Structures are given as C-alpha cells and as structure tokens.
Structure 1
Amino acid sequence: MSPAAAAPSRLGRFRAALSESPPLLWAFVYFFCLLSGYYVLRPVREAMVASSDIEAVFPHAMVAFFAGRGVALGEFTLQVIFTAVFAIMLLLQPVYGWLVSRFPRRVFLPAIYGFFIGTLLLFYLMFDSGVAGRGLAFILWITVFNLFAVAVFWSFMADVFDNAQARRFYGYIGAAGTLGAFLGPMLTKALVKQVGIANMMLVSAVLLSACVVCILKLRAWAVLRERERRLASGEVPMGGKFLAGLKLVAREPLLRWLALVVIAGVGVGTLLYNEQNAIARTAFATAAERADYFATLDLAVNSLTLLVQLFATRPLLSRFGIAPALLIPGFAIIVGFSVLAASPLPLMVAVVQVVTRASEFSLAKPARETIYTRVGREWRYKAGAAIDTVIYRGADLGFVWLHKLLSAFGSSAVFGAGLLVATGMTVGVLRLLREEAKLPSERGAGGAVEDAPASPA
C-alpha cells in the first residue's frame, strides 16, 4: 500500500476507535496537554542544568558554603541535583501513598494536579522577581512533577481501559503525548526569548488546568468499566498502608522484574544525559542558546517517536503483544552503546540519545503500562507509582554518581558500562515476559481479574 493510501487508512482506524471508545478522545487530549505542559518547561530546566554559571542553579550561600570547604559545586551539579531529587521522592512517596489510600479517585487526582498548578504560579512569581535559588528549586520541582504526573496518568488510564483496549489504544494515546511534546518545545522556541522564562510557567499552568477537566470527564467511564466488570471501585478509598507499593515490589516477582527493567533503562538514559550535558556546557555560552539546543533535541526525539507510534506501536501491541515492543528498544540500545564505546563522537551521542528516548516513549513505556490493566488498583496506583518515582530516581542517583566515577576514565569507559547495563535490561525483559505470561487474561463482565493480584498490606 502506498503512503498516500495508508494515511487515510490509519485516519479511518483512528476515527473508528473514537467511535468505539468515546473516552479515547478525552484521554488523547489529557496526555497531549500533560506533555505539552511539561515540554514547555523541559528546555528551561536543561538550560539551567547545563549552565556554566553555577549561581544560575544554586543559591550564592550554598556555593560559598561548599567553596569554603574546598568543594567546587559546579563540578558536582548533576550529582547534587539527583541526590536532592531522590531525597524528595523518599519524602513524597509516603505522602502520595497516604493520599491514594485515604481518598477516592475523584479527590486525589485533581488534588495532585492542583498542587502542581499552584506551585507553577509560585515559580512565576519567583522567576519574575529574581528570587535567589529559584533555579535549583525549579529543577527539583519539574523532575518530581514529570514522574508523578505521568505515573498518575497511566494508572488512571488502566482504570478507564481494559487490556484489549489498551493494546489497541495506547499507541494512539502515546501519539497524543508526542504531539503535545512537539508543541511544548515549539512554544518555548517561539516565546522564551520574547516573553522570558517566568511567563512560560503560566503557559504550562494553563495546559495542566486542561488536564483537570479531562480527569473529570474520564471519571464517568472509569466508573462504568468498574461496574460492568464488577471491579473494585475507585470511587471509594482503596485503603491499605501508605508504603504498600514498595512492599508489593519487594514481594511480587512480576513487579521486581518491572523495577529491574526500569532501573536498567534509567541507567542507560542517565549515562547518555550526563555526556550530553557536558557537551552543551562547553558548546553554548548562554541559557537561551542551551534552551534552544535542547528544544531542538526534543523535537528530534518526538519526531522519531511519532513515526514509530503511527506505524508500529499499535500493530505490534495488538497483534504480537508486549514482547516485541519491549525487546526492540533493548536491542537498539545495545547497538547504539556498542558504537559509542568504540567511537564516542558528540554527534553520535546525540543520535543515540534520540533513538534511546524515542524507543522508550513509543514502544517500551506503552508496553509496560498495558500490564497494569490486568492487576489490582493497589498494584497500579501504589506499586506502579513507587517504581516510576522512588525506584526510578534511586536508579538515577546511583548512575549519576557512577558516571562521575567512570568519566575519569573517558567516554569509552562510560559507554562500555552502558553496554553492560543495556544487556542486563534485555535479560530483565525476558524474565518479565515470563512473569507476565502467568497473569490471568482479562475476562468479561463477570470476571474479577482485579481481585487476583491484591496486597494485604
């Protein structure tokens, strides 16, 4: 079939999917606005992290404190940031667990996004008035926001869609996010030099407000699915202990392998991220130039992601299940890191970064999320969130310090270690697939697959 004929065919399938499942449109808008809101701000964060001016990130008093003890804080920028993020995640995880245990879905979902919108308005005031330390506070905030907001999104989608629908629709939903991730950097490139960084906070706040509207609209379909299939209702608090998520990960083999795959994926991404920031720090003189560079890189990632989502994600998931979508990124990363270990050229680092992130967003992430449609709500909202926040950032922390050690031996040592991690990730995927095959298939309205994997914690 020619591309011209294929495009209408894909559009027709998308229209048919919207007719079959009305909540798909609201899920589409939700993820579009969520990633637009994040990607408006991501280039700002990257520009700050890669800044050669250390006081653009850390407060003067903090820089002076470390300097007085013989420590050049600028040499440990990423290590300090990642350590602080992990500490924040440890503090927030029990708060999040308490929130989802004690309040129904209609309360905790809007509350989470309302918190992020409120803090964005606070950052607008901080950047507009030039408050010292705003750079570090913003970097920590957006890193926490990205993980919690996206984790909550996918947990909610597993309330709305069953496993068969997820395999058909998650590709479309992922593509919506990619389109939003296109819009965000484009807005930043178009506006940041004219209106300044402070006003980009307001743009993001408006987009997140649209997410709250989508949550309110989608809740009715989540309730309907739970009633039809006689599943545990999200309209009542799920109960359980606030640390049940971490306990589930420690106890259940499926969740342990999921966590291992995420840890390895974070490892290869962190090693690449550190090399990329080192390049940007020396190549660009101003924050605006670095923001423009990272926006361009994000556009490249999102272009490749969208192509894969349009042509491969839905067919792979609906016809062959999650195995190809999980294994293909692993093999691609192994090839990329093999090339970098042999010849770590700056351009090749950027290329592998694009391929790595695009394959994670377009294939691996949607595939992993379909697993949560076949398990209980505590697995989704607590264990899934624990993996995507505390465990994710714990891996970040470990690998950012590992990079600091390996970078003393040169880029080839960094990418050689990354090759080992990528190989371990592929082995982990194979074990994950074995555990996933043991899950019961989602049954019809009389089934209660949600009741099978449950936590007593």
Structure 2
Amino acid sequence: MTSNVSNLRRFRVALAESPPLWWALLYFFCLLCGYYVLRPVRDAMGASGDPATVFPRWLVDLAASAGVDLGEYTLQVLFSAVFVAMVLLQPVYGALVARFPRRVFLPLVYLVFIACLLGFYWLFDTGVSGRGAAFYVWSAVFNLFAVAVFWSFMADVFDNEHAKRLYGYIGAGGTIGALVGPAITRWLVGPLGVANLLLVSAGFLAVCLLCILRLRPWAARRERRHGVHDGEQAIGGSVLAGLRLVWQEPLLRALAVMMVFGVGVGTLLYNEQAAIVREFHPTPEAATRYYATIDWAVNGLTLVIQLFVTRWLLRRHGVAPALLLPAFAILLGYCALAASPLPLLVAVVQVATRAGEFSLAKPGRETLYTRVDRESRYKAKAVIDTVVYRGGDLTFVWVHKLLSIFGTTAVFATGVLVALGFLGGAWGVVRAQRRLPGDGLHNDAD
C-alpha cells in the first residue's frame, strides 16, 4: 500500500511540474484508444479463412483461375500489400517533413487519417467488395505512422531527463486508451456495427489534433531554452535522407537491426495465433472477441509495468535493462514454445512479448530520440518505424509460411534463433547509445 501511495504521489508531482504532461497523456490515450477500437476488426479480417470477405472479387477469381486458394495466403498477401504501401508512402512523408514546418505537417497527417476513416465508413456501410483488405492495409499504415509521429513530437516537447521521468506515465496513458478501445469494440460492435465504430475512432483522432495544438508552444519553449530557433521551420534536406541516416549512423543502424528481429519474433507468433483462431474461433464475431481479450491482457500487464517499473528502471539504470529484459523474456518464451507448443502457451507468450515491448523496450528506444538531431528524429525514425518494421513483417510472414510446412515445432525452433538476433540487436543499441550526447538539441544548435 505504501508503495502505491508513493507512486501516486510521484505522478501528482510530475503533473504539477510538467503541464504538457497532461496534454501528452490525453494525446496518447486518444490515439491508442482510437486505434484499438479498430484493431480487433482488422485482426479478425486477417484471420479470416474466407477470401471473399477480405479481398476484391476480381482477385479471388484471378487466384482461383490460377489454381490458388487465396484463403491459404491471406496474411501473406496482406502483409505484402502493407509493405508496398509503406514503401510508396515513405517518400510522401519525407517530403512533408522536409518542406513543411511542424505546425503544418503534424495536423495534416491526422487530418488525412480522419478523412480516410470517413471514406472507410462509406465503404463498410455500402458493402464494397475488397473493403476488408483495404482496411487492413490502411490500419497497419495508420498505426505505424501515427505512433511514429507522436513519439517524434514528444522528443521535441521533452528533453532526455524529462523523458526518463515521464515516458512511463505517457505510455501508461496510451495503455489505458488501448484497454478502453477493445472494450468499446466489444460493447458496441453488436448494436452499432463495424461502420459506426470507424466514426468513433475518428472522434478520438480529432481530440489528438487539439492536443497537438496545445503542445506546440511547449515544444517551441524547450527548443528556445536550448538555443534552437528553427523548431517551427521546415527541416529541409532530401526526401530520402532518413534512409541515408539509418545506413550511416551506428545507433540508427542498430535500432533498425533490433526492429527487424523484434518484428520477426512478433510476426511468427502472430501467424501461429491466427492459425489457432481459425481452428477454435471460426466466426468473425468470435475471432474479434478473442483478439479483444488478448489486447486487454496485453494492455493490463503493460499498464502495471509502466506505472510501477518503467520510470524507476529508466531513471536508475538507463535504457540497457529496458531493452535487454524484454529480449531475454522473448528468448525464454520461444524456448518454452519449441519444447511445448500448446495453444494456451502461445497466448501467454504473446501477451508477455507484447507487454514487454510496450512497457519497457518502446519507452527505452523512444528516450534515445531525445538525444539525436531533428532530421534523425523525424526522418530516420519514420523509416525505422514504418519501412523497416513492415519489411521485417513481410520477410517473416513468408518465412512462417515456409516453416509451417514442417509444423509448429519448426516455427518456434526458428523463433529461438530470431529471438537471439533480437537480443543481439538490443545489445548493439545499448553499446551505440553510450556515444550520444545528453540532449539532441545541442546537436541542432551546433
């Protein structure tokens, strides 16, 4: 009880000392709540064994004429389409960052997402063929770009010391949103239907826009305090500068390696889980409820860690344990699954893996971006969080398809090797970040 009171007191002190923390919490809450309203719907589509409910009729007929059952390759086709979309959109995002100031491109990104949701509302309401695949691809793009933009902006608002103290709380605000989102879906999908859930999500994104407007002065104030006067100016530079920076900078390169293998362990597990859902939860409603339950468990565990562990760990020991502990946990989980691939154990490892990523690894990585320059923060980070992320997804979704021929044990045995790669990538990030300055704004001022 004393520990809980002490944590609550520290949270109150943090809110009193840092007014932008209120808006950051609301921002991340609404962003993840809006996304998690949609996620169970997206995952149920990915797990569907009926291609006619996901893909456009012409694609189903084309595959059938070639003797291919598209239902056997649902996730592989969807992941491939997501990667292509990421590659095509990355230069567009790079152009926005390079040519427009922060006050323009941040609201513009969210306005585009709101417009897309209104478009999907019409598609679902009219029952257009192929809407499932289009929504799956769009929601994957939305998740990565919207969250990447959020954390890039937070690195403008808070410096490294504040990030270590506050990112755990901000992450907890997002986790609460991620808990509320699936609950909204479970309660409202029946009476409202899928189409109206999209309008609910759009409402949450509108609140995100308000938070951006309220946080902008705090970002500008922090930059002026560090002698930086161009924070509200366009970053400039090449549209593809992010790719160059990821290739050249040791820290960014290590983060990309860690991302690829981290995505790999998640994708292998996600695909095995989808196979279990198809067998034990065959209807769309049952699949949606199953995924919503998994999301609740993940976010509940994440919230506990964020409130009671993350802040203490980052302030006391830095990013090393925040990155290495989840990597060790994933490795142990895959070793257990290779020995005994039970469906319940798959769900348990899925919960532990995602909770470790959201509560420790993600905040740990994000604090590093407070110590790099703005071009790395917005351009290179976006490359890692979108193209590299989905490139790993695409690679391992097809690796899983190949391994599934040899059975579940082969999938998890390979997962052990991928988890070792993830651990190696995390260690590379820990070594590279030791050479960073205390605050990336000093780099901008040079």
Q: TM-score range by the shorter chain?
A: over 0.9
* Contact 2:87 2:387 (8 Å CA) reproduced: yes
Q: Distance in 1 between matches of 2:231 and 2:122?
A: 36
The verdict on how the C-alpha distance between 1:433 and 1:451 changes in structure 2, with shifts beyond 3 A counting, is: farther
- Report the counterpart of residue 297 of structure 2 in structure 1: 300
Residues 297-321 of structure 1, C-alpha deviation per residue, up to 9 Å, x if partnerless?
Answer: 1000001101111111000001110
Equivalences, count: 446
- Structure 1 partner of 2:50: 53
Whether the aligned pair in 1 keeps the contact of 2:27 and 2:211 (CA below 8 Å) is: yes
Distance in 2 (alpha carbons) for counterparts of 1:449 and 1:366: 22
Aligned pairs for 1:90-239 (under 5 A) are 90-231=87-228, 233-239=230-236
Aligned mates of 1:330, 1:136 — CA distance in 2: 32
2:4 and 2:111 map into 1 onto residues whose CA distance is 38
Do the aligned partners of 2:42 and 2:136 also contact (CA within 8 Å) in 1? Answer: yes
Please name the residue that 1:455 is paired with.
Answer: none
Distance (whole Å) between structure 1 residues aligned to residue 425 and residue 56 of structure 2: 41
Contact between 2:47 and 2:75, CA under 8 Å: does it hold in 1?
no
For the 8 Å contact 1:232–1:450, the answer to whether it is kept is no
2:419 is paired with a residue of what secondary structure?
helix
Q: Note the alpha carbon deviations across 1:277-297, whole angstroms, 9 max, x for none.
A: 011011123111111110001
* Corresponding position of 2:442: 448
Distance 1:232 1:54 in 2: 53
Aligned residues: CA RMSD: 1.0
Superposed CA deviations along residues 149-173 of structure 1, whole A, max 9, x for unmatched, are 0000000000000000000000000
CA distance in 1, matches of 2:101, 2:162: 24
Equivalences for residues 337-356 of structure 1 within 5 A: 337-356=334-353
Q: Is it true that 1:414 corresponds to 2:411 in the alignment?
A: yes
> 1:413-456: per-residue Cα shift (whole Å, max 9, x none)?
1111111111111112112111100112239xxx723356xxxx
Does the CA contact (< 8 Å) of 2:20 and 2:215 recur in 1?
Answer: yes
Matched residue SS, 1:263:
helix
Distance 2:255 2:427 in 1: 11
TM-score of the aligned structures, taking structure 2 as reference length:
0.99
Q: How far apart in 2 are the matches of 1:285 and 1:331?
A: 34
For residues 240-279 of structure 1, what are the structure 2 equivalents within 5 Å? Answer: 240-279=237-276
**Shift of residue 232, structure 1, vs aligned partner:** 5.2
Q: Which moved more, 1:259-268 or 1:430-439?
A: 430-439
Corresponding residue number in structure 1 for 2:431: 434
Which residue is equivalent to 1:398? Answer: 395
Cα distance in 1 for residues equivalent to 2:445 and 2:237: 14
SS at 2:268's partner residue?
A: helix
- 1:66 — aligned with what? 63
Q: 5 Å matches for 1:356-375?
A: 356-375=353-372
Letter of the 2:444 partner, please give it. E
The answer (yes or no) to whether the contact 2:164–2:367 under 8 Å persists in 1 is: yes
SS at match of 1:448: helix
Q: Name the SS of the counterpart of 1:236 in structure 2.
A: coil
Instruction: Measure, in 2, the Cα distance between the counterparts of 1:132 and 1:70.
Output: 21
Deviations 1:267-286 (A, max 9, x none): 00000000000110111231
Q: Cα offset for 1:399?
A: 0.3
Structure 1 residue 12, shift from structure 2 partner:
1.1
Contact 2:257 2:425 in 1 (8 A): yes
Instruction: Give CA deviations for 1:182-234 in whole Å, capped at 9, x if unaligned.
Output: 00000001000111000000000000000000000000000000111012522
Q: Residue 441 of structure 1 contacts residue 449 of structure 1 at CA under 8 Å; is this kept in 2?
A: no
Q: Give 1:380 deviation, angstroms.
A: 0.6
Cα deviations across residues 356-382 of structure 1 (Å, max 9, x unaligned)?
Answer: 000000000000000000010000100
Q: Which residue identity lines up with residue 345 of structure 1 in the other structure?
A: L
Distance 2:115 2:442 in 1: 39
User: 1:382 aligned to 2:401?
Assistant: no
In 2: Cα distance, 1:77 partner to 1:58 partner: 9
Aligned to 1:32: 29
Matched, 1:285 2:282: yes
Cα distance in 1, alignment partners of residues 429 and 140 from structure 2: 27
8 Å contact 1:54–1:74 — kept in the other structure?
yes
- TM-score after normalising by structure 1: 0.96
Tell me the amino acid that sits aligned with residue 442 of structure 2: A
User: 1:13 corresponds to which residue?
Assistant: 10
Give the distance between the partners of 1:103 and 1:129, measured in 2 at CA.
36
Assess if the C-alpha contact under 8 Å between 2:298 and 2:355 holds in 1: yes
Cα distance, 1:52 vs. partner?
2.2
Structure 2 residue ranges without an equivalent (≥5)? none
